Amino acid sequence: MKKILLLSIAIISITTAFAQKKLYSTTTGTTTFDAGTGVENISATNKSTTSVFDALSGQMQFKILNKGFEFWSQLMQDHFNENYMESEKFPKTMFSGNIVDIKKVNFSKDGNYPVTVKGTLDMHGVKKEIVTTGSLKIKGDQVVGTSSFTVALADYNIVIPGVVKDKLAKTVKIDVSCNYSLLKQ
Amino acid sequence: MKKWKKIAWGIFAIGMVSASVILYFATKKPATAEDSEPIAKFSTTEFIEKLNANQATVSATYMDKNIAVSGNVMEVNKDQCSLVLDAGNNAIITCTFDSAVFAKHAATFEKGKPTSIKGIYFGCDGFEKSDSTDMMDLLPQQKSAMMKTCSVNK
């Protein structure tokens, strides 16, 4: 009887430990990209980036509705959604991965912690592994996560027409900034 | 000679008009909700109910259009110039603003208080089975609708 009780406690403890999560989330993160070559300003911002990460395991995810990118020109916005991202067919861009060095981040001590993020970027129907660096700035219960990285359009089957090949960069610079709050569960 | 002159002027005029039209469309700014009136008004819960009932119909009718929603403020994000409106039953409506427009109305936004926001509707998430993929299992299973270039609906 005692053995069964001890075994039950052990199983419950292990299950609880694995199920434990400390989630930080936002639905209003900012993602900007710059695809210009200097000939013309080809950049856009999306201020509705949904993101969450687990401070214990380092698991991290992002979700963006492509139609939320705002350009300075209506024509560029239309081309982006209709010709390049095909937003009707592929409405979302997603990322799922891990902050590989999450253990280095002390969430109970304010400060700026450099981190490395590794995972899969799912864009335009193509999933590809990426590795990037970023930082987590801790201030009380608030965490600001930032990262900059580049993606090659060809890797995601985004074809640049010959007419705009001088204006549009083959590699796009992406900046992500998220103000996370601790998710009450 | 006169005939050739007329033809040359004609070609020049057509060229100028074409260039003007191209320039107009190339530099035309995207429509913002601040500059226009909403084509429909809902409470936040009504709009989420519409999405629950038929997301495709909502997309066909309101995608890229200015709509107004009224509900309680759940979050005010000054740094990101955005609001999150509570739509009940684990549903939210995210409203993002241009910084100048947000600054103009920021004093009126208060957590828990009712407000009416107009914005360009650009999509939703969490209403279809395909929205919850294994890849995104960590994200809270929340229904959300999104509006951009928002302003206060008076």
Please state, in angstroms and as integers, the Cα–Cα distance from residue B56 to each residue in A88, A125, B42, B63, B131, following that order. 12, 21, 18, 10, 14
The tens digit of pLDDT for each residue in A21-42 reads 899 999 999 999 999 888 888 9
Residues of chain A contacting B25 with CB distance shorter than 8 Å: 74-75
Q: Is the pLDDT of residue A10 over 60?
A: no
DSSP H or E segment with residue A53: strand A43-54
Q: Where are the alpha helices (DSSP H) in B28-98?
A: 44-53, 55-62
Interfacial B residues in 111-130 facing A (CB < 8 Å)? 122-123, 125
B119 CB neighbour count, 10 Å cutoff: 28
pLDDT score, position B1: 67
Would you list the domain boundaries of chain B? 1-30, 33-128+139-152
Residues of chain A contacting B28 with CB distance shorter than 8 Å: 73-75
CATH code, A25-182: 2.40.128.110
Interface test with B, best of A21, A31, A32, A47 (most B CBs within 10 A): A47
Nearest to B28 among A28, A74, A91 (CB): A74
Confidence of residue A16 (pLDDT cuts 50, 70, 90): very low
Span A127-150, average pLDDT: 95
Contact check, Cβ <8 Å, A65/B123: yes
Residues of chain B contacting A22 with CB distance shorter than 8 Å: none
Q: Where are the alpha helices (DSSP H) in chain B?
A: 2-27, 44-53, 55-62, 99-105
A95 CB neighbour count, 10 Å cutoff: 22
SS3 B116: strand
Question: Is B26 an interface residue toward A (CB < 8 Å)?
Answer: yes
pLDDT score, position A144: 96
Structure tokens at A71: 């350009």
Q: Is the pLDDT of residue A86 over 60?
A: yes
Closest CA to A64 of A97, A32, A41, A22: A32
Confidence of residue B29 (pLDDT cuts 50, 70, 90): confident
Interface test with A, best of B36, B64, B74, B82 (most A CBs within 10 A): B82
B43 CB neighbour count, 10 Å cutoff: 16
Q: What is the mean pLDDT of chain A?
A: 89
Interfacial A residues in 87-116 facing B (CB < 8 Å)? 91-92, 94, 96
The tens digit of pLDDT for each residue in B71-89 reads 999 999 988 899 999 999 8
What number is the ipTM of this complex?
0.82
Closest CA to A151 of A175, A167, A134: A175
- Are the C-beta atoms of residues A33 and B108 closer than 8 Å to each other? no
Cα B129 to Cα B138: distance, rounded to the nearest angstrom: 16
CATH code, B33-128+139-152: 2.40.50.140
Cα A83 to Cα A13: distance, rounded to the nearest angstrom: 53
Contact check, Cβ <8 Å, B29/A72: yes
Question: Is B25 an interface residue toward A (CB < 8 Å)?
Answer: yes
Q: B132 or B77: whose pLDDT is higher?
A: B77
Question: Is B138 an interface residue toward A (CB < 8 Å)?
Answer: yes
Cα A60 to Cα A40: distance, rounded to the nearest angstrom: 34
Cα A46 to Cα A69: distance, rounded to the nearest angstrom: 4
pLDDT score, position B80: 87
Q: Residue type for B69, please?
A: V
